[in-house]
Amino acid sequence: MASSSQFRYTQTPSKVVHLRNLPWECVEEELIDLCKRFGKIVNTKTNVGANRNQAFVEFGDVNQAISMVSYYASSSEPAQIRGKTVYIQYSNRHEIVNNQSPGEVFSAYGFVHKIATFEKAAGFQALVQFTDVDTALAARTALDGRSIPKYLLPEHVGSCNLRMSYSAHTDLNIKFQSHRSRDYTNPYLPVNQTAMDGSMQPALGADGKRVETQSNVLLALIENMQYAVTVDVLHTVFSAYGTVQKIAIFEKNGSTQALIQYSDISTATMAKEALEGHCIYDGGYCKLRLTYSRHTDLNVKAFSDKSRDYTLPDLSQLVGQKVPGVAAASGPTDGWPNGQVQTQYMGSSYMYPPADPTGAPPSSGHPPHYG
């Protein structure tokens, strides 16, 4: 299959090389500095990929690209930019196409200096700073009332209609690069890693104040995940505080996260406060980091190994029949280091419905392991 060839060890040489793991906001000059000694660079494309940390460099001749790829394939010193190792392979295309990319909706109208996004009661809002009023006016005129193209939106996001007006601000004060805010004029501004993870940790709003919008949906980051965390495990853990409606597990930036939906905010808040920082398993394994999701109603497959919709009828039979993790919990399971963990997992001494009528996190007998 052609789509998998990009991961094969042997790739078809191309005069275009693909560079990944680039540092934040890596600029063309840095790419050129790295590549120019191998040949004539005829084109570049930066800020490629979901994280905008990939790029393409096109050489005038395929032999120049071969010399570069070959050099770093056998070099003891990896290619580096700003001290960060850069991985280089042939691109799976043979030329760079620099078409106008409305990838950034607002960049189509001029250089976007800074963006700050935040939640208000009226909805999601963003401040977008251009060079001058004329550019801002052009963007406003063109975009007000329109919607963001669907292909630019994440899955499960419906239409996003833009309502635009002039801000009272003239110069935004961006504290760090994150999924909420950007300063494109300052590539060395620190990256807020937790914010880049989309973990929705208390972030700075445009006014500089902490914002943490409550939600009936919790976002769980699972730290130190030595053992598999299944939908069923999460369902058991979070059902201690109320009826769980939906669960979705997904990978983001190499770590496992989950969304857990309750019917209301107060139940979610109880669960969040009770479970935050606690571990599903003894020994500090699978520690839960809980924040409020910006979702309020998950759009998940009713039944899969990564998601569940408990609001739909007749799933219990399916669950009993088809979920390996459920059956496995009562018997030997691949991947479990020993029987003791299983015993603890099934033994309700952890995050199963708390015996404690106060609803406090279940910690009986194992206080040292919580933290």
Interacting residues with DNA (CB under 7 A): 6-7, 11, 16, 18, 20-21, 45, 48-51, 53-54, 56, 87, 89-93, 95-97, 99, 101-103, 151, 254
Return the SS3 of 186. coil
Nearer to DNA, 102 or 339 (CB): 102
Task: Find, among 251, 306, 118, 278, the residue nearest to 195 by Cα.
Answer: 118
Give strand ranges (E) for the chain. 16-20, 41-48, 54-59, 80-81, 84-85, 87-90, 112-120, 123-130, 181-183, 203-204, 210-211, 217-223, 244-252, 255-262, 279-281, 285-292, 307-309
Nearer to DNA, 12 or 266 (CB): 12
Nearer to DNA, 48 or 172 (CB): 48
Return the SS3 of 219. strand
Nearer to DNA, 151 or 166 (CB): 151
User: Residue 281 CB, nearest distance to DNA (Å)?
Assistant: 25
Residue 57 bridge partners (DSSP): 17, 44
Nearer to DNA, 80 or 304 (CB): 80
User: Residue 63 CB, nearest distance to DNA (Å)?
Assistant: 18
Cα–Cα dist 71/65, whole Å: 10
Task: Find, among 224, 304, 306, the residue nearest to 259 by Cα.
Answer: 306
User: Residue 117 CB, nearest distance to DNA (Å)?
Assistant: 21
311 phi and psi angles, rounded to 5 deg: -80, -10
User: By CB neighbour count within 10 A (0-12 exposed, 13-18 middle, 19+ buried), where does 133 fall?
Assistant: exposed
Nearer to DNA, 179 or 366 (CB): 179
User: Residue 103 CB, nearest distance to DNA (Å)?
Assistant: 5
User: Residue 214 CB, nearest distance to DNA (Å)?
Assistant: 32
Q: Among the residues of 288-346, which ranges form H helices?
A: 315-322, 324-328, 339-346
User: Residue 296 CB, nearest distance to DNA (Å)?
Assistant: 27
User: Residue 49 CB, nearest distance to DNA (Å)?
Assistant: 5
**Tokens standing for residue 165:** 């007006």
Nearer to DNA, 6 or 141 (CB): 6
